[in-house]
Amino acid sequence: MMAKLPPIHRVVTGHDADGKAVVSQNGALPTVVELSALPGTVFHEVWSTHGAPCLVSNGEDPTLSALKLPPPEMGTRIRFVDIPPDTQEFLLDGVRNTQAAFAEIGDAGASTAKANSPHPLMHRTETVDYGVVIEGEIVLVLDDSEVNLKPGSVVIQRGTNHAWANRSDRTCRMLFVLVDGKFDSRLQSKLVAHA
């Protein structure tokens, strides 16, 4: 049995009625979801912002809404994701589970996986994502190449078709910051032709 990774501790600041800086929340994340379609894959929702510039206020906790893969329009999303080791069963028949998993995280259209894809979790979002390996090891899988990553590795993922393959024997924890984006029109035309 694999050891569970420690829970995420979150501190959210705000202001009191006089404008003094205070701690609004201090403790465990309220939204931690293990995907039923991909057991062991856990989303730890930290925060999100809407619009740019984002409204700085004492507003409601944005992580209490339904789980969604992409950030809000013109916004950002920060989360940790625990990625379990790939299993032979998943690699052989994972495309079907992948469709269900992306539907579970509110973005069924993100999956690009086909029977001949380099990995069953291939997907693309119209975002710029900063992915940081916190614990464990992972392989970034692209259409034509792979990169081995370890703690301290940072990936700037710019709307590319990709997957995260865990070929180790333990869970990998990554921190992601997702920024809403829009494909350059010249790139968009090539992506449509490539699909």
Q: What is the pLDDT of residues 11-55, one digit of tens each?
A: 999 999 999 999 999 999 999 999 999 999 999 999 999 999 999
SS3 category, 62 = helix
Q: Which amino acid is at 181?
A: G
Does residue 192 carry a pLDDT above 80? no
Whether 65 contacts 32, CB under 8 Å: no
Report pLDDT digits (tens) over 72-115.
Answer: 999 999 999 999 999 988 887 777 778 888 999 999 999 998 88
Q: Rounded mean pLDDT of the chain?
A: 93
CA-only gyration radius of the chain, Å: 18
pLDDT at 1 over 60: no
For residue 194, pLDDT over 70 is answered with: no
Amino acid at 109: G
In whole angstroms, what is the distance from residue 109 CA to residue 107 CA?
5
CATH pick for 31-194 out of 1.20.1260.10, 2.140.10.30, 2.60.120.10, 1.10.490.10: 2.60.120.10
Q: Where are the domains of the chain?
A: 31-194
